[in-house]
Amino acid sequence: MAEKPIGPGDLEHLIDFQKPAEVKTPAGRREVTWHTQFQEYARCVPTGSTERFREGAERTGTLYRVTVHAGLAIDETWRILWDGLVLNIRSVPKAPPSAVLVELIAESGVTT
Protein backbone atom coordinates (compact mmCIF):
# COMPACT_ATOMS: atom_id res chain seq x y z
CA MET A 1 0.00 0.00 0.00
CA ALA A 2 1.39 3.41 -0.97
CA GLU A 3 2.01 5.99 1.71
CA LYS A 4 -0.58 8.77 1.69
CA PRO A 5 0.70 12.25 0.79
CA ILE A 6 1.58 14.54 3.67
CA GLY A 7 -0.49 17.68 4.12
CA PRO A 8 -0.16 20.72 6.41
CA GLY A 9 -2.49 19.03 8.91
CA ASP A 10 0.13 16.31 9.48
CA LEU A 11 2.63 18.79 10.97
CA GLU A 12 2.09 17.87 14.61
CA HIS A 13 5.37 18.69 16.39
CA LEU A 14 6.40 22.21 17.36
CA ILE A 15 10.16 22.50 16.75
CA ASP A 16 12.73 25.26 17.26
CA PHE A 17 15.07 26.28 14.47
CA GLN A 18 18.40 27.36 15.96
CA LYS A 19 21.20 29.30 14.33
CA PRO A 20 24.82 29.20 15.54
CA ALA A 21 26.61 32.29 16.75
CA GLU A 22 30.27 32.53 17.64
CA VAL A 23 30.97 34.44 20.86
CA LYS A 24 34.18 35.31 22.63
CA THR A 25 34.48 33.99 26.18
CA PRO A 26 35.99 36.07 28.99
CA ALA A 27 39.11 33.90 28.60
CA GLY A 28 39.41 35.02 24.97
CA ARG A 29 38.37 31.72 23.38
CA ARG A 30 35.75 31.52 20.67
CA GLU A 31 32.71 29.40 21.47
CA VAL A 32 29.63 28.49 19.45
CA THR A 33 26.25 29.15 21.05
CA TRP A 34 22.85 28.34 19.60
CA HIS A 35 19.93 30.77 19.43
CA THR A 36 16.35 29.93 18.54
CA GLN A 37 15.29 32.04 15.55
CA PHE A 38 11.70 30.81 15.22
CA GLN A 39 9.37 27.90 15.88
CA GLU A 40 7.55 25.90 13.23
CA TYR A 41 5.19 22.95 13.17
CA ALA A 42 6.73 19.88 11.55
CA ARG A 43 6.41 16.17 11.00
CA CYS A 44 9.48 14.28 12.28
CA VAL A 45 9.95 10.66 11.21
CA PRO A 46 13.04 8.55 11.99
CA THR A 47 14.30 6.83 8.84
CA GLY A 48 17.41 4.90 9.88
CA SER A 49 20.68 5.01 11.72
CA THR A 50 24.17 6.23 10.85
CA GLU A 51 27.67 5.37 12.01
CA ARG A 52 30.66 7.69 11.83
CA PHE A 53 34.21 7.48 13.00
CA ARG A 54 35.42 10.71 14.54
CA GLU A 55 38.48 11.30 16.66
CA GLY A 56 39.10 7.55 16.82
CA ALA A 57 35.66 6.68 18.17
CA GLU A 58 32.56 5.31 16.53
CA ARG A 59 29.50 7.53 16.91
CA THR A 60 26.03 6.49 16.00
CA GLY A 61 23.09 8.67 15.08
CA THR A 62 19.57 8.53 13.74
CA LEU A 63 18.41 10.12 10.49
CA TYR A 64 15.06 11.93 10.41
CA ARG A 65 12.83 13.23 7.65
CA VAL A 66 11.51 16.56 8.90
CA THR A 67 8.63 17.97 6.87
CA VAL A 68 8.02 21.72 7.25
CA HIS A 69 6.41 24.56 5.32
CA ALA A 70 8.41 25.50 2.22
CA GLY A 71 10.20 28.81 1.97
CA LEU A 72 12.02 28.85 5.32
CA ALA A 73 15.32 30.75 5.18
CA ILE A 74 17.52 28.04 6.75
CA ASP A 75 20.57 26.04 5.69
CA GLU A 76 22.75 23.14 6.79
CA THR A 77 24.54 25.22 9.45
CA TRP A 78 21.32 25.41 11.48
CA ARG A 79 19.88 22.80 13.80
CA ILE A 80 16.49 21.73 15.11
CA LEU A 81 15.54 21.36 18.75
CA TRP A 82 12.62 18.95 19.04
CA ASP A 83 11.33 18.02 22.49
CA GLY A 84 14.86 18.23 23.94
CA LEU A 85 16.46 16.30 21.05
CA VAL A 86 19.04 18.11 18.91
CA LEU A 87 18.83 17.36 15.18
CA ASN A 88 21.62 18.65 12.95
CA ILE A 89 20.25 19.66 9.55
CA ARG A 90 22.03 17.72 6.79
CA SER A 91 19.97 18.62 3.72
CA VAL A 92 17.69 21.51 2.77
CA PRO A 93 16.31 20.90 -0.73
CA LYS A 94 15.30 23.78 -2.98
CA ALA A 95 11.54 23.67 -3.27
CA PRO A 96 9.71 24.75 -6.42
CA PRO A 97 7.72 28.00 -6.05
CA SER A 98 4.43 26.08 -5.94
CA ALA A 99 5.55 23.78 -3.08
CA VAL A 100 3.67 23.99 0.20
CA LEU A 101 5.91 21.59 2.14
CA VAL A 102 9.56 20.58 1.97
CA GLU A 103 11.34 17.58 3.50
CA LEU A 104 14.60 18.23 5.36
CA ILE A 105 17.07 15.53 6.35
CA ALA A 106 18.39 15.87 9.89
CA GLU A 107 20.53 13.69 12.16
CA SER A 108 20.66 13.18 15.90
CA GLY A 109 23.50 11.75 17.96
CA VAL A 110 26.37 13.57 16.25
CA THR A 111 27.71 17.08 16.48
CA THR A 112 28.54 19.33 13.55
- The backbone torsions φ and ψ at residue 8, rounded to the nearest 5 degrees and listed phi first, read -55, -30
Which among 108, 75, 87 has a CA at the least distance from the CA of 16?
A: 87
Q: What is the CATH number of domain 8-108?
A: 2.40.10.270
Domain ranges across the chain? 8-108
Which among 103, 88, 108 has a CA at the least distance from the CA of 42?
A: 103
* The Cα angle at residue 19 between residues 95 and 40, in degrees rounded to 5: 55
- Check whether 1 has a pLDDT greater than 60: no
pLDDT digits (tens, 9 = 90+) for 38-83: 999 999 999 987 665 556 655 678 999 999 999 889 999 999 999 9
Q: Is the pTM of this model over 0.85?
A: no
